[in-house]
Every structure is written in C-alpha cells, then in structure tokens.
Amino acid sequence: MTFDKHILVTGGAGFIGSHVVRLLVQKYPNYRIVNLDKLTYAGNLENLTDIQEAPNYCFVHADICDQKAIERVFSDYQITDVIHLAAESHVDRSIHGPMEFVLSNVVGTVKLLEVARTSWSNKSNHVFHHISTDEVYGSLGESGFFNESSPYDPRSPYSASKASSDHFVRAYYHTFGLPIKISNCSNNYGSHQFPEKLIPLMIHNIIENKPLPVYGKGDNIRDWLWVEDHAKAIDTIFHNGEIGHSYNIGGLNEWTNLELVNFLCKCMDEKLGREIGTSANLITHIEDRAGHDKRYAIDASKLCSALGWQPTVSFEQGLDLTIDWYLSNKEWVKKVTSGAYQRYYQKMYSSK
C-alpha cells in the first residue's frame, strides 16, 4: 500500500495522543500513522482498540530518549512528518520527581529533533509539529489572556521542561531550518484521561465515595477544552499552520477549581440518582500545591481567525460525555488505578 504521508505520532497511547491518532487514522486513510510510545503508567494501548487493526495504523514500543530506536523508525517507516506529544504530563509528579521530566520532555524532544534534522534532506516536504501547553507562559492575575507573544515564565518543573522543549524546537527552526510548528493548549478533559488529573480524579472519587481533595481554597482558575476539539486544532495546524509559527488553543471556558468540582458533584448526583448535595459533602480542602499557578486563560484568536478553528463542544455537553464514559468504562479505570496508582495516591494525598 502506498501512502501520501508517513506520520510519526509520539505519545499516541496517552490521553490526548490517542484522540489525535484516532482522528488521523479515521480521517486520512491515505496517511500511515505510526504511533510510538514508551507505555509509561500513562500510556495504554487499550485506548486504541477500536482502530488497532486499521491498515494505515501501526504501533512501535520505544522511548524517545533512545536515539538509535528513533533512527530505525524514521528509516523503516520512511517518516515524513512528526506530531510530538510524548511527555511526562502531570505537574504534581514533576514536583515530586523533576528528573523524569527533564529526560522525556527535554532530552527526548532534542533527540527527536536531531533525528528529524538528519533524516530529512529536503526540509520543505516535512512538518515537525510540537504539542505544548499554556503553562509555559506562567500564571495570570485576575484579568488578561496568554497570546502567542506572551513572555515565557514557567514556574513548575513540568512547565519548565515544556518551555525548554519549545525553545529547542524553535532553535532547530532558526538554526537548521527544520520546518516546525508549535501549539500551546489549555487544560484538556474528556475520555481516557488518567485519573490523576483534576476531572477524572474527582469523577473516580465521587463514584467510590472517597474524599474530593481540593488544593487550598480552590480559587485557582483553569480554562478547559474538550480533548477532541484539541485534536481537531492539531489537525488544522498540522495541515494549514505556517512553518515557524506558534498557535495558542483554548476554549474561553474559565472555572475556579471549586466551582468546577461543585458542578461535577451536582451532575454526578443526578447521574447516580443520589440526593443533590451528597457528593459535594465529600469535598475536602487540603494543603495547596507548591508554587500553584493562579490562573491560565488562552487567547486563541490567531488560530480562530487565521485557520478557522472553533471549539465545537460546550463544557456542559463535554462533561456529560466524560462522566458517561467513566461510568461505562469502570474496567479501564480499575486497571489503570491498580498497583502503582494506589502507592502514588497514598504518597500524594495521605500526607496533606
């Protein structure tokens, strides 16, 4: 079978990566999608069982820090493009152990850049799309938004590692002419998210009648985006974005953590047939996260006006779909929360 593009998607077994892989495999039968993933605690091939037999999909188990393995993949699969999502992604874990973040997010990204640079002789036919976060811009006060010109001001080991990787990606564009694009997205939610992040953790704990740990007063603000809208934005930027440019992605959907958790409690009480207020009684304020960024909010007007992207799913709709997914996929949750997750949870929450 011949393909028009051979796209390496790194981190495709993770939360956002699995949505990106599914979208590309289904929408572009003329592209081969090579999903490369180390399968850390956050990577799970069961996220992709529905497309694993597709003739334009294949999986490679490898670490982006293993440069020889990446070189083999570029040569064996004649990789024409990269969409790079593989990363350690959880802020709390980065506080407890920054080094994994330096290795996968910084060193791994540079190794990938190096293989792309040396493999692609005619740079004009390729795209290296780096997936990043709004957290590289630091923390906002009560007003204002991050746009593409906002200065970088990362404050957690996670955001510092992502900022560093963004700088390396841009350096490869300026220094070597590597055809790069970067997108910086706000907080995602949806199906298949590992239950260490706020929304799936709260859904899981509500189902289990466990305390709902809200850091500090719960007045920190995040801008939430439906994960499939992020995947569509990546598709749009990958195909139509300008080489060398960055694009911010966000849903104009700001919530304080406490408002969000209360809303989730109400929705879950309705779904589970519990008296309204039952789940909210589980809310427990615990010690704040160290260096907790106050507010993130994205100005996505460049992406909307230049490339015509718009979010399609409202927060109410998206949360409803997310809750339904977790309620119908208890086996998935049970599997990913057994063993190491229990130890992580104890370490994270019992001391606070």
Q: Please, which residue, 261 or 279, has the CB nearer to ligand NAD?
A: 261
Q: Taking the complex as a whole, how short is the minimal distance between the CB of residue 37 and ligand NAD, in angstroms?
A: 5
- Respond yes or no: is residue 135 known to be catalytic: yes
- Respond yes or no: is residue 219 known to be catalytic: no
For CA atoms 171, 140, 301, 161, give the dihedral sign: positive
Please identify which residue in 257, 262, 279, 322 interacts with ligand TYD, judged by CB under 6 A: 257
Q: What are phi and psi of 146, to 5 degrees?
A: -80, 130
Under rule CB under 6 A, how many of the chain's residues touch ligand TYD? 12
DSSP 333: H
- Respond yes or no: is residue 158 known to be catalytic: yes
Q: Please, which residue, 183 or 279, has the CB nearer to ligand NAD?
A: 183
Q: How many Å apart are CA 78 and CA 125, to the nearest integer? A: 13
Sheet of 187-189: strand order equals: 187-189, 221-226, 254-256
DSSP 275: P
Tokens, residue 317: 């709709």
User: Of the residues 135, 166, 223, 254, which is catalytic?
Assistant: 135
User: Of the residues 37, 63, 88, 134, which is catalytic?
Assistant: 134
Which region among 84-92, 143-151, 204-212, 331-339 touches ligand NAD (by CB under 6 A)?
84-92
Tokens, residue 78: 């004649």
Q: How many Å apart are CA 207 and CA 272, to the nearest integer? A: 8
Q: If binding is defined by CB under 6 A, does position 130 make contact with ligand TYD?
A: no
Q: Taking the complex as a whole, how short is the minimal distance between the CB of residue 2 and ligand NAD, in angstroms?
A: 28
Q: How many Å apart are CA 90 and CA 87, to the nearest integer? A: 9
Q: Which listed option, ligand TYD, ligand NAD, none, makes contact with residue 110 (CB within 5 to 8 Å by class)?
A: none
Which region among 60-68, 145-153, 306-314, 329-337 touches ligand NAD (by CB under 6 A)?
60-68
Q: If binding is defined by CB under 6 A, does position 13 make contact with ligand NAD?
A: yes
Dihedral Cα 157, 162, 165, 169, nearest 10 deg? -160
Specify the DSSP element, H or E, that contains 240: helix 227-240
Instruction: Find, among 261, 251, 259, 147, the residue nearest to 199 by Cα.
Output: 261
Q: How many Å apart are CA 299 and CA 134, to the nearest integer? A: 10
Q: Which residue is nearest to ligand NAD (CB)?
A: 14
Q: Which listed option, ligand NAD, ligand TYD, none, makes contact with residue 264 (CB within 5 to 8 Å by class)?
A: none
Please identify which residue in 140, 201, 268, 323 interacts with ligand TYD, judged by CB under 6 A: 201
Name the residues that contact ligand NAD, by CB under 6 A.
10-11, 13-17, 37-40, 42-43, 63-65, 85-89, 104, 108, 131-133, 162, 185, 187-188, 194
Catalytic residue list: 134-135, 158
Name the residues that contact ligand TYD, by CB under 6 A.
91, 187, 197-198, 201, 213-215, 220, 222, 257, 289
